[in-house]
Amino acid sequence: MLDAVAVEAPFRVTDLKDWVYCPRILYYAMCLPDVRPTTFKMEAGADAGKAEEGRETRRSLKTYGLKEGRREFNVAVASERYGLRGLVDMVVWVESPGAEEVIAVDYKLSEVAGVHFQMQVAAYGLLLEEASGLPARRGFLYEIPKKKAELVSINGRMRDKLLASLEAMHRMLHNESMPAPTPNRNKCLACEFRRFCNDV
Ligand code: SF4
């Protein structure tokens, strides 16, 4: 795997997830880096991911519709081209001749596979594809409370959306310009940055 530390990549894949949820969250995190607290949700998510790794080794790959594959946990990936780096909870390497592919799996405490989570998995796929040369056609969100794997298709539409988001993120960082608030104001109700958004 690529040496993630050696690659110039200003954004983490979790930054992309935040950007898709609300671009301002990433703006505050990058331009006011000292204000973001470590929330209970973040700590609980990290602990749950570690616990899930143990359960995963006993779980059949049928959960992901696979007959065979090699599992690898906590895989670091990075890309200078995309300016993106991350740590994938689990990667399944399918190495059967003629059917090779690489599949990213991300564990979530959430019961809803929101579009920001889907794009996070797709971004891991893109980075793994670039590093390994194997195609990333799909990934999975493993919803821990439901014990269910949700398929994420890494199709042309998803790739276009990813690239458009990455472009906009790099533009925001370069210009240090504050993005518009999310149009879905329900997201603001429990947002940790709400006190900074005087216009919502
Ligand atoms: S309060 Fe709303 S607009 Fe502001 S960062 Fe949070 S979600 Fe985005």
pLDDT digits (tens, 9 = 90+) for 15-36: 999 999 999 999 988 887 776 6
Distance in angstroms (rounded) separating the CA atoms of residues 49 and 144:
9
Torsion of CA 22, 36, 9, 182, to 10 degrees: 10
Q: Which domain holds residue 129?
A: 4-194
pLDDT, position 40: 54
Alpha-carbon separation of residue 15 from 84, 102, 172, 198 (angstroms): 9, 22, 13, 23
Q: Give residue 161 CA to ligand 1 midpoint distance, Å.
A: 21
Band the pLDDT of 105: cuts 50, 70, 90.
very high
Nearest ligand 1 atom, CA 22: 8
Distance in angstroms (rounded) separating the CA atoms of residues 67 and 41:
34
Does pLDDT of 57 surpass 80? no
Average pLDDT of the residues in 107-121: 91
Name residues whose C-beta falls within 8 Å of residue 118's C-beta, 6 or more positions apart in sequence: 141, 152, 158
User: Quick check: is 14 in a domain?
Assistant: yes
Q: Give 147-180 pLDDT, tens digit per residue.
A: 999 999 999 999 999 999 999 999 998 898 899 9
Q: Give residue 191 CA to ligand 1 midpoint distance, Å.
A: 6
User: Quick check: is 175 in a domain?
Assistant: yes
Alpha-carbon separation of residue 108 from 42, 45, 115, 175 (angstroms): 11, 7, 13, 33
- Give the three-class secondary structure for 161: helix
Nearest ligand 1 atom, CA 192: 6
User: Quick check: is 84 in a domain?
Assistant: yes
User: What CATH number is attached to the domain comprising 91?
Assistant: 3.90.320.10
Strand pairing partners for 4? none
User: Quick check: is 200 in a domain?
Assistant: no
User: Quick check: is 156 in a domain?
Assistant: yes
- 49-58, 64-73, 187-196, range with the lowest pLDDT: 49-58
User: Quick check: is 199 in a domain?
Assistant: no
For residue 18, which amino acid is it?
A: D
User: Quick check: is 181 in a domain?
Assistant: yes
Q: What is the pTM of this model?
A: 0.89
Distance in angstroms (rounded) separating the CA atoms of residues 171 and 67:
43
User: Quick check: is 190 in a domain?
Assistant: yes
Nearest ligand 1 atom, CA 194: 1
Distance in angstroms (rounded) separating the CA atoms of residues 113 and 115:
7
pLDDT, position 85: 95
Q: How many domains does the chain have?
A: 1
